[in-house]
Amino acid sequence: MCVAVPSLIIAIDGLEANVDVGGISRKASLMLTPEAKVGDYVLIHAGYAISIVDQEEAEATLELFKELAKGVEPEGINS
């Protein structure tokens, strides 16, 4: 199974973008989405922005990821 993570483009240099997801900044290639611009949300998979998504869809997906993370506790926390 593959997972693509919605990320906000905060800066662009050529075909490389700095993206933010949950306060963490990463670099991603815009080779597959050269039309993306600062302020767009893109789906990141394997270091590539594979598509542009609207803000509402991106935020809903990120909220689902947060809910999933709440249900996963590291071993030993409540043992």
**Residue-range definition of the domain harbouring residue 56:** 5-70
SS3 57: helix
- pLDDT score, position 71: 80
Residue 51 falls within a domain, yes or no? Answer: yes
The count of structural domains within the chain is: 1
For residue 14, give Cα distances in angstroms to 4, 11, 29.
22, 10, 9
> pTM for this one?
0.82
pLDDT bucket at 67, cuts 50 / 70 / 90: confident
5-34 confidence digits (pLDDT tens): 999 999 999 999 999 988 999 999 999 999
Residue 76 falls within a domain, yes or no? Answer: no
Residue 15 falls within a domain, yes or no? Answer: yes
Q: Where are the alpha helices (DSSP H) in 1-79?
A: 55-70
We report the CATH number of the domain holding residue 61 as: 2.30.30.140
